[in-house]
């Protein structure tokens, strides 16, 4: 209990998220920027899900994972941005302790699930490129559902174990969190209790939920690249690489920003940079993922063109019927 020495023991019932500073002139601009990002993110990921569900040509393991990944991105951004938008609109930056812990919980669940889904997607690409003859047998519908369900269930179990300890914690002294959402590290720092147990548990769960999937992704792509390089024709190499290039870009962006935020030292001089990188991987990455998958994927582009063609044809038919009567 050494941590509690010399600290105000009055229990805190709410926190203040400092966000991006107290500059009233910037609040309307920031609100508009984040509102546009939120709308584009949700619309883009809903579009991906709709294409995967409605186009039978996309009913394959790769697009099954992509559809689930887009659903996760919608949940991910909806955990953070609505609260931030409300704060920027009203100027009220307070959040209850329970509300803050719940945001930390869902953020942790979704982050861990995203890491596991990326690993499942890399395993799918590994089988498709390195074991094409056994791909259909090894990556069937049952296996796909098990991988997705396993990602969600294991993330919920791991984060629930951590948050049982966090919910029992008492908070005192300072109520200010120098962040735009309730991340685990700044919340734990405000606890009056001895947090060694919960920090050790968080390290173990994070290592299993993030580091292990990262190593699996790295191993998969080492084998994938080695297999692609052994393909004799340049056309064959290009075709093989195109099937996994979008996922590889998403993996690099995701883990690159995640490592920058949580591994790079976070001294006071780096706080602004730390916050900017947090914005990138929590807000911007879910927005650009649909763009990456649609621009670099011929099948998604073709499905989108067909969907737009059907929509235009439906509108023209409806207009002609309306004019007729």
pLDDT one-digit tens code per residue, 174-186: 788 888 888 888 8
Give the residue extent of every domain in the chain.
2-324
How much is the average pLDDT of 292-308?
Answer: 77
Question: Higher model confidence: residue 131 or residue 299?
Answer: 131
How much is the average pLDDT of 305-311?
Answer: 79
pLDDT of residue 323: 60
- Buried (b) or exposed (e) across 306-315, using 16+ Cβ within 10 A? eeeeeeeeee
Residue 254, Cβ density class (10 Å: 0-12 exposed, 13-18 middle, ≥19 buried): buried
Read off the DSSP letter of residue 15.
E
- The CA-atom distances, in angstroms, between 80 and each of 38, 162, 164, 266, 325 are 10, 20, 21, 21, 49
pLDDT at 198 over 90: no
Whether 278 and 20 have beta carbons less than 8 Å apart is answered as no
Q: How many CB atoms lie within 10 A of CB 208?
A: 15
Question: Higher model confidence: residue 147 or residue 209?
Answer: 147
pLDDT of residue 82: 93
Q: How far is CA 21 from the centre of its chain?
A: 25
2-324 CATH fold: Rhopdopsin 7-helix transmembrane proteins (1.20.1070)
pLDDT one-digit tens code per residue, 43-92: 999 999 998 898 888 888 988 999 999 999 999 999 999 999 999 888 88
Q: How sure is the predictor about 41, in pLDDT bands with cuts at 50, 70 and 90?
A: very high
Helix residue ranges per DSSP H, 180-244: 184-188, 196-206, 212-229, 234-242
Q: Using alpha carbons, select from 152, 194, 149 the residue that is nearest to residue 5.
A: 194
Helix residue ranges per DSSP H, 55-92: 61-90
Highest mean pLDDT pick, 98-102, 204-208, 211-215, 257-261: 98-102
Read off the DSSP letter of residue 96.
E
- The CA-atom distances, in angstroms, between 269 and each of 139, 175, 265, 272, 274 are 48, 22, 10, 7, 9
Provide the pairing of β-strand 14-17 with 176-177. parallel
How many residues are given for the chain? 325
pLDDT at 222 over 80: yes
For residue 105, how many C-alpha atoms fall within 13 Å in the half-sphere facing its CB? 16
- Report the share of the chain in percent with pLDDT over 70: 89
pLDDT of residue 238: 82
pLDDT of residue 320: 64
pLDDT of residue 2: 46
Give the H/E segment covering residue 98: helix 97-130
pLDDT of residue 8: 54
For the record, the structure tokens of 105 come out as 């919980």
DSSP code string of 229-294:
HT-SSHHHHHHHHHTTHHHHHHHHHHHHHHHHHHTS---GGGHHHHHHHHHIIIIIHHHHHHHHHH
pLDDT of residue 321: 59
pLDDT one-digit tens code per residue, 13-38: 888 888 887 777 788 899 999 999 99
């Amino acid at each position: 209990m050494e941590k509690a020495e010399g600290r105000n023991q009055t229990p805190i019932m709410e926190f203040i998220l400092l966000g991006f500073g107290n500059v009233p002139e910037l609040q309307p601009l920031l609100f508009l920027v984040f509102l546009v990002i939120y709308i584009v993110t949700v619309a883009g990921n809903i579009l991906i899900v709709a294409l995967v569900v409605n186009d039978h040509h996309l009913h394959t393991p790769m697009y099954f994972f992509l559809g689930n990944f887009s659903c996760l991105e919608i949940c991910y951004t909806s955990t953070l941005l609505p609260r931030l938008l409300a704060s920027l609109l009203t100027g009220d930056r307070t959040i209850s302790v329970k509300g803050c812990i719940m945001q930390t919980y869902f953020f942790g669940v979704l982050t861990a699930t995203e890491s596991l889904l990326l690993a499942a997607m890399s395993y799918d690409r590994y089988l498709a490129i390195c074991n094409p003859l056994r791909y259909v047998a090894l990556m069937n519908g049952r296996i796909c559902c098990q991988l997705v369900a396993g990602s969600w269930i294991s993330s919920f179990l791991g984060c629930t174990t951590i948050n049982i300890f966090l919910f029992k914690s008492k908070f005192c002294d300072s109520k200010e969190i120098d962040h735009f959402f309730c991340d685990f590290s700044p919340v734990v720092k405000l606890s009056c209790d001895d947090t060694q147990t919960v920090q050790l548990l968080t390290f173990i769960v994070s290592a299993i939920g993030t580091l292990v999937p990262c190593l699996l992704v790295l191993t998969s792509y080492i084998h994938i690249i080695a297999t692609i390089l052994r393909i004799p024709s340049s056309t064959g190499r290009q075709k093989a690489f195109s099937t996994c290039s979008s996922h590889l870009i998403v993996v690099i962006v995701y883990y690159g920003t995640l490592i920058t935020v949580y591994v790079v030292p976070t001294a006071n001089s780096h706080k602004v940079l730390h916050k900017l990188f947090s914005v990138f991987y929590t807000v911007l990455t879910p927005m650009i993922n649909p763009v990456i998958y649609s621009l670099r994927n011929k099948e998604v582009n073709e499905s989108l063109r067909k969907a737009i063609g059907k929509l235009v044809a439906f509108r023209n038919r409806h207009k002609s019927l309306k004019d007729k009567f």
